[in-house]
Chain A
Amino acid sequence: MRRGLRVIGIALRGAPGPFAIGIGSAALFAGMTVASAFVLGWVTDEVLLPMMATGEIDRDVLLLAVALILGVAVLKAVGVVGRRLGAYFAQFQLQARYRRDVTRRYLALPISWHRRHPTGELLSNANADVESAFFVAAPLPMAMGASLLLVITGGLLIVTDPGLAAIGFSIGPLLGFANWFYQRRMRHAATVAQQARADVSEVAHESFDSALVVKTMGREEAETQRFRATTEDLRDKMIRVGRLRAFFDPVIEALPNIGILLVLLVGAFRVRDGFLTPGDLVQFALLFRLVALPIRVFGWLLGELPRAVVGWDRVSRVLNATGDMVHGRASGDGAGGAAIGMRDVGFHHPSSERGDLAGPDARTTPTGAPQPMDGAPERGPDAPEDRTRGIDSVSFDVDAGRTIALVGATGSGKSTIASLLVRLYDPDHGHVVFDGAAVPDLARDQLARHVAIVFQEAFLFDDSVRDNITLGDDFSDAEVEAAATLARAHGFVSELPHGYDTQIGERGATLSGGQRQRLALARALIRRPRLLVLDDATSAVDPSVESEILRGLAEADLPATVVVVAYRRGSIALADEVVFLQDGAVAARGSHDELLATVPAYASLVTAYEQQRAEDAAAAAHAQPPAEVPE
């Protein structure tokens, strides 16, 4: 409840203008509602009863009655429209504002934070959670107006007949208790249902994402069963929510009615004793109905509160998430490639066991207990076996303008080093150095301007080819074309229906993997970075095209230090030097030929094809000699 009030406070402060209009209008509406009760009371006493008693119609009085009814109604209508407009404006203003805030956090929080939170969760946080947090804005002006109504009518009732008013208001505490009870139960039910909903979404996401595997493995039925299980869990939890509501709604509806009946009964005594006129009693009953309304509105508001609290908790967890990278102010400017290095760098990715919104414990937490809404607050120190591999202690230096190849077996830490060099992560210990400065000292824009990485999985935006290369920065058409040519992308781009202005759709779905990689490469090249990191960036490109690209890069004489993660000897050949990694540490370093001669593990890794070909050649002694015999 207190947390609910906090959400309301945040909402009110977040959109004061619309709420002022909404609440003012709601007050007008409330006032006019009271007025309309008076009008009807007056109509009863001064119009209906006398005219029917005397059998004469006083046209002027009747017209006055009509004018009063309509006049009050017009003001009431203005109140309704204003109240709802205020509520809508406030609600959507708050939603938009917090969506902007949440997405700003997404953009600011480190990649390691992103890795801990599944895509689906982040999507629903900026969408559904923000929405549920501020659903509460919709009934808020009405509730505020209604509380005014409550005060006014309460006052009037007390003035009219304090005794009768006391009897009527005796149902208040009952309503309050029912509400409190409902809140307690509902909050937990709503939380677990929300979590179940997220689970359903995750299973569907994953399953449809892997549709190819599902098909090729004939797993449709098994997947359907898996989905059914989560779905039925959601169903059961939703039914529980529905049942709570089924219990609560009639209670909140019936209590005010019981109150009115009490008032009628007692009122009849009062009329007999001459304390009240029948008109007073009618007015009283009407007013009492008006009291019931604010109570119901509060019911709606309170009904939204648990959801709002859950939503707000999830939103504020993102807003309060820490671990932002702090950037210094150093400049990275300089001529040609940068001298880079790593000094005793260690880094392990956080465990993949993600703490999701509500872990299994939260689901069974007894009613009312504080819910660990996220469960993924910053994880404690990971148990050693929880940690996936990374690198332990890596040191190396690369002189300005040199090209090195990072070579190692699958899972030896090459990509980790690539990510650390461009500061996607900060190391657990040790330093990454750029031109003598520690990378964290570089200013944010300096880092982006002078350092570029191309990932193996090329990510493209739903935008034009050109914008995917320039990323909105100012580059001339000639520069775009030159970069694309160097990345061997110009050819296929020219054949697209609108060339560089072709829209490439969601994640570049219309392009092949190799084409995507070439565009991603062009994106890096056009920036003429002083450090270029290629993380197996041409793995999906046809070998012939790949060798063209690599030769092109070598000949283009880029003003850059280049770090290439590669397997193919063509790529390795491009490098001045090789850093050979084994199990997250540098095992050897030197020219390709040196390593080949002195490091057996290296030799067996990179010459695997040749060895096999030699074996095959020996085996197939009768056949023609192989194309060439390396080694």
Chain B
Amino acid sequence: MSTATSTTMADGPDGSEGPEGTSEPDLPRPTGGVPDSGDGAWRTLVRGISLSPELRVGLAWTVVLALVATAGRAIVPVAIQQTIDGGLGTNGAGVDLVAVSRIVAFAAVAVLITALASGWMNYRLAAVVETALSNLRVRAFRHIHDLSMLHQATQQRGSLVSRVTSDIDEISRFMGWAGLNLITAVGQLTIATLVMALYSWQLTLIVLVVFVPFVLVARWFQKRLTVAYRLVREKVGDMLGILAETVVGAPVVRAYGIEHRTQTRLDGRIEDHRRSAVRAGTLSSLFSGSGELFGAIATAAAVVAGVWLGVGGEVTAGTVLAFLFLITLFVDPVLIASEVINEGQTAIAGWRRVLDVLDLEPDVADPGEDGLELPPGPIGFRFADVAFRYPRAGETARNASGPFVLTGVNETIEPQTRVAVVGETGSGKTTFAKLLTRLMDPTEGQVLIDELPLDRLRFASLRRRVVMVPQDGALFDGTIADNVRMGRPAATDQQLELAFLELGLSDWVEELPRQLATRTGERGGSLSAGERQLVALARAYVANPDLLVLDEATSAVDPATELRLQRALAGLASGRTTVTIAHRLSTAETADEVLVFDRGRVVQRGNHHQLLEEGGVYGALHASWVRGVGDQG
């Protein structure tokens, strides 16, 4: 009898027999980014639960409580049956009030016990689920940070965020409501079946037979619902995408007066989403209607068979009546379980997305404990036959086949050199910086720091000694002091002030509304682009690295400030190596060495004066820069 039950339960949610059933989760899809493992719902559930061992803590106990709790649902029908058969004297013996009182008293106690069990189970479940999901959130968060920039870049940022937020929220909602319902539904189904079988195996058999076609119908719906809900999710994504664009791009929308066009686009996506959701809802409604019909067919069959068996003396009237109650107890959980699985599609898809991101191997991995430490003191570095090409989808850095961004770079930089890197956009300057700071690994060749291979260095050691200031001085919402302190968490306020003083920025800080306690706003939005760069520089400065890489880190400040900073940084360059990427050639003029990049190669090297004499690419760059800053108009 439990065959029908387990079929519904095990295969219903799975649907994995379809072509999208199983595939290797680790094989990236051609779409790039986080591969969609396409795991079936059931497999996802199993994998998800196995990845969160907290979910299994005391699971047996929870299930016991669930069974007790659901058993409570059979109490009332049984009590009615007992009363009718034993107390009301339908068999002609007259009303037995003592018996009725006893039955009611027993039932009342049972109701209380099951209520307690149900409450306790909910209580446990809430704690277990939320704890497990909170840990999963943190794990996914850390994992995403461990992924390389390349991996991160292939994803829309919003999509990465959703993996630690809404995706997991969905699981929480699913586990909190639906998961609970699923457990109780399974319990209720089991118990209803058992009780029915105790009353009459013949009637039970008939009910089960009636439900066989229902299982087929359910599967038919299940398949279509899976597709329908997937479409809904896609439409939600589309809608959020354009919504984000509208919000982030508000100034442009306003300045160009394209509100109407933007609204039309938004309305379109909103309507698309509505349509897809209504379609899924329609399918789901029809499905529950069919459940209602099957319930009635089972009832009718039970009445006919009950009368027939009753006349033959096989069952009593009370048994048949109890059966009619029990059939509702049997039908409800089947419907609820199906619904839970339908509504759970979103949650399971979310879970799958979280698991998929956890499956991604970090391609620029920290060697960790086995790694090497950088010896103390100034550091030099060497690029040995380095080439880089961007990996296409599914490739790693080492077998990348995209166009070459950098080729044949062979350069050695002695410790304590001030290096300027110049070249046009797309010449490979930034790639050079990213390889040097191991934000990416080269496709060919090796980068060595102090003759140690970069990819063997522990991150803890590397990140302390080698610091890069990116072009967009990304700030966190907090005070300026908070942001600078990221460079050195232990720094005191005095040390921070000193840092700004040494960088020649005290007067700038003084003019801020609350000096170092001034808030930077979301993503530093309360400061101008130039001011954000000043903060980012100070942050790198307090980190006190031995190799400082500046990637156009002063492009947005005014010339006077830039020069002031450069002088400050130059004074601080003693004892450390600096690599500065800049398109303002003022930096190159003061550097010890200038590396000139052109189309992915280093085409010239030397100091400013040597290069000026050589002319070539540098000469042209310099000439155009001088025109820019020097023309008297």
Contacts and interface: CB of A to CB of B under 8 A. Distances in A.
Nearest to B423: A542
23 contacts: A78-B289, A114-B247, A200-B137, A200-B164, A207-B141, A210-B475, A211-B152, A212-B470, A224-B145, A245-B126, A250-B115, A250-B119, A254-B111, A254-B114, A264-B100, A385-B513, A410-B534, A410-B556, A472-B261, A546-B628, A572-B633, A573-B633, A613-B589
B477 interface: yes
Interface string A110-149: 0100110011001100111000000000000000000000
A74 B297 CA distance: 10
A119 B596 CA distance: 40
A575 B471 CA distance: 28
B46 interface: no
Contact of B95 (A55, A206, A268): A268
A465 to B, nearest CB: 15
Contact of A261 (B90, B108, B462, B526): B108
A212 B556 CA distance: 18
Nearest to B134: A235
B560 A605 contact: yes
Interface in B261-295: 261-263, 266-267, 270-271, 273-274, 277-278, 281-282, 284-286, 288-290, 292-293, 295
Nearest to B257: A448
Given A204-B161, A388-B513, A512 B261 contact: no
A49 B90 contact: yes
A463 B244 CA distance: 14
Contacts of B324: 40
B559 A246 contact: no
Query: 7 tightest CB-CB pairs across the interface, nearest first?
Result: A448-B257, A242-B126, A218-B463, A73-B296, A573-B633, A88-B281, A246-B122
B274 A544 contact: no
Contacts of B255: 422, 424, 448, 451-453
Nearest to A117: B247
A235 B285 contact: no
Given A47-B303, A264-B80, A410-B530, A254 B115 contact: yes
A43 B306 CA distance: 11
B59 interface: no
Contacts of B439: 212, 215-216
Nearest to B462: A218
Interface string B308-321: 10110000110011
A543 B558 contact: no
Interface stretch (B217-225, B400-408, B516-524): B516-524
Interface string A414-434: 010001001010000000000
Contacts of B242: 462
B51 interface: no
A567 B559 contact: yes
Interface string B549-569: 000000111111111000000
A542 B424 contact: yes
Nearest to B119: A250
Contact of B609 (A223, A527, A624): A624
A69 B300 contact: yes
A284 B252 CA distance: 68
Interface stretch (B203-211, B444-452, B619-627): B619-627
Contacts of B623: 627
Contact of A119 (B69, B131, B248, B627): B248
Contacts of B80: 260, 264, 282, 285
B534 A222 contact: no
B393 interface: no
A205 interface: yes
A52 B307 contact: yes
Nearest to A223: B145
A231 interface: yes
A249 B177 CA distance: 11
B572 interface: no
Contacts of A114: 247, 250-251
Contacts of A104: 263
B145 A214 contact: yes
Contact of A461 (B245, B254, B621): B245
Contacts of A213: 470, 474, 486, 536
A478 to B, nearest CB: 21
Nearest to B533: A410
Interface string A278-305: 1001100100010000000000000000
Given A215-B439, A448-B256, A268 B87 contact: yes
Given A115-B525, A260-B80, A268-B97, 4 more contacts: A72-B296, A103-B270, A242-B176, A424-B255
A contact patch SS: helix
Contacts of B624: 543-544, 547
Interface in B194-239: 236, 239
B506 interface: no
A253 interface: yes
Interface string B118-142: 1111110111011101100110011
Contact of B246 (A43, A106, A205, A575): A106
A559 B67 CA distance: 81
Contacts of A1: none
Given A51-B307, A609-B586, A217 B543 contact: yes
B385 to A, nearest CB: 25
A387 B372 CA distance: 49
Contacts of A506: 156, 241
B292 to A, nearest CB: 4
Nearest to B122: A246
B632 to A, nearest CB: 7
B519 A352 contact: yes
A245 B122 contact: yes
A505 to B, nearest CB: 9
B167 to A, nearest CB: 11
A513 interface: yes
B262 A107 contact: yes
Contacts of A95: 274, 277
A262 B103 CA distance: 11
- B295, B525, B585, B621 — most chain A CB neighbours (10 Å): B525
B319 to A, nearest CB: 10
Contact of A85 (B282, B472, B511, B613): B282
A188 interface: no
Contacts of A177: none
A373 to B, nearest CB: 19
A574 B633 contact: yes
A88 B277 contact: yes
Interface string A546-583: 11000000000000000000011111111100000001
Nearest to B489: A222
B360 interface: no
Nearest to A575: B633
Contacts of B426: 512
Contacts of A445: 257
A251 B278 contact: no
Contacts of A387: 513
A580 to B, nearest CB: 12
Contacts of A514: 425
A69 B628 CA distance: 90
Contacts of A456: 529, 556
A208 B144 contact: yes
Contact of B311 (A51, A536, A539): A51
A227 B141 contact: yes
A627 B247 contact: no
Contacts of B462: 218
Contact of A349 (B90, B244, B526, B556): B526
Contacts of B26: none
A70 interface: yes
Given A56-B311, A506-B156, A257 B556 contact: no
Contacts of A219: 486
B172 interface: yes
A77 B294 CA distance: 10
Contacts of A352: 519-521, 525-526
